[in-house]
Amino acid sequence: MIISSVVRRLSAASLAAAALATPLLLAPTAHADAPGSTLFLTVSGSENTWIRGIGLQCPLTSWSHHPKAAEACAALDEAGGDLDELPGNPHPCPLIHDPVTVTAQGTYNGAAVDWQRTYPNACVMEATAGPVFDF
């Protein structure tokens, strides 16, 4: 019974990830002279109990559905594409253990990106990563 529950959760997570990744395959290609940045971002709860994802393209295009795309692109530019160096939005957070894992996959100015980080809770994620994972 437990195994079938785990299999159902993994299947649901896999289907959600595939559905969220589909826009990346259908995204218009950038001009050859401007590498730009195309990232698929995800945020998931503890033990993948939930997951959400969104595409971000910088410079902004109609494909970028990120609600704070301009701010996210500016933060990525400020960090030089290094997600470990995002300027964030520093503020105090409660000491609650409710882990949140974020990922970024794609390209930044033509360089491959495959990044993941787990934060103790969503508040710490926002304080550290700022608008990039705020969707």
Q: For 92-112, how does the pLDDT look when each residue is reduced to its tens digit (9 = 90+)?
A: 999 999 999 999 999 999 999
Predicted confidence at residue 60, as pLDDT, reads 80
User: What tokens does 89 get?
Assistant: 């939005």
pTM greater than 0.85 (yes/no): no
Query: Which ranges in 27-96 belong to alpha helices (H)?
Result: 69-78
Predicted confidence at residue 34, as pLDDT, reads 53
Residue 30 DSSP SS3? coil
Beta bridge partners of 61: none
Q: Which parts of the chain have pLDDT scores under 50?
A: 1-33
Query: Who contacts 79 (Cβ-Cβ below 8 Å, separation ≥6)?
Result: 85, 86, 87
Beta bridge partners of 64: none
Q: Which domains does the chain have, with CATH numbers?
A: 2-133 (3.30.350.10)
Beta bridge partners of 43: 52, 102
